[in-house]
Each structure stands twice: as structure tokens, then as C-alpha cells.
Amino acid sequence: MKREQLEHLIRAAGAVAGSRRLIVIGSQAILGQHPYDAPTEALLSREADMIPLDAPEMADAISGVLGELSAFDATFGYHADGVGFETATLPVGWRDRLVQVENPNTNGYIGLCLEVHDLLLSKYFAGREKDRRFCGAIAKAGLAEREILEDRLGRMDISAADRERILSRICADFGG
């Protein structure tokens, strides 16, 4: 996905949901903070996960109209999935660090993208193969700092076993 495609999805999802603000919570949130320097390996997803902040009950409408295999997806080759807050496990204070995407392409709708360290921690927690590849690509590109990840990890409300698992992955990706 490219930044312009994310902006298109923000505009379309906002119109479908009747929500001026949408949190972009999946991997393509990287395009908020790193619109043009994110590594290709991090941009392979054809979908953007979005929470309609002003109308969270409209998440299913986003998936129905703009989701995978929809007419929108068939036309443009990318899609939006409406999701809820339970979709991601995030560090304390993540809402204060959201990166705003608003420009003429979003037509008055605002995308609020996860900040890179918060995004990585949610992906490390999820731990799927695609999440591990994503985190590795971001680390290799130098778009995140190990110290910030470790600090925020220490303040996540997760089990000790999950914390240890995530710390091990951070060490593998960032060396040491």
C-alpha cells in the first residue's frame, strides 16, 4: 500500500462510517509517520485496519462496503477492515502519540495512525509470521529505537511470559 491509497481509504471509510476521525491500527499505520521511507517489506499488505472513532459501531459497515472482495477492493486492489479497540494490545499512552493524516486527499476526514513504536509493540504481541517480518523490516530500516520499545514494553499490561517473548524478539531484531 502507498500513502495515497491510505488517504483514499481514510476518505472512503470516513464517509461510509459517518466518522470524521479513524484510527489506523494495523501495519499500514506506518504510512502516517513514514509516508515515503517505510521499507517495501512493510508495505505489502493490501488492507488498512480502521476504527471509526466517532462511530465505533460502524466498523462492520466499513468492512462490508470497503472490505476484502468488495466492489471497492475489486476496483482499486486494496481495502479497509473495520475493527474494534480489542484488535490490538498497545502500550500505555498510545492515544497521546497518534500521528495525524489530514490533507486535501482525505477530504476533511482524519486518519490517526499508531506511532511506530506502539505499532511495533502491537505486532510483537500478536506474534504472527507476517508481524515478525514487518517488525524485522522496520528495525532493519532504522525507523524505531530499541530503548523506546523496551521502555514502553515495561508499561504494557501483559503477562510476564508475553513480556519475555516480546523482549526476545526485540533483541533479535535490534541486535543483542
Q: Over 97-125, what HEC string results? A: HCEEECCHHHCCCEEEECCHHHHHHHHHH
Q: Is residue 93 located within the same domain as residue 143?
A: no
Strand, helix or coil at 64? helix
Q: How confident is the model at residue 170 (pLDDT cuts 50, 70, 90)?
A: very high
- Residue 47, pLDDT > 90, answer yes
Q: Which of 56, 65, 57 is nearest to 13 (CA)?
A: 65
Domain membership of residue 50 as a residue range: 3-115
Cα Rg of the chain (Å, integer):
16
Q: How confident is the model at residue 1 (pLDDT cuts 50, 70, 90)?
A: very high
Asked if pLDDT for residue 148 goes beyond 90, the answer is yes
Cα–Cα distance, 123 to 119 (Å, whole number): 6
pTM greater than the 0.75 cutoff: yes
Same domain, 31 and 7: yes
Question: What is the spatial distance between Cα 126 and Cα 3, in angstroms, rounded to a whole number?
Answer: 24
Instruction: State which of 74, 99, 115 marks the end of a domain.
Output: 115
**Domain boundary residue among 69, 93, 115?**
115
- Check whether residue 26 and residue 93 sit in a common domain: yes
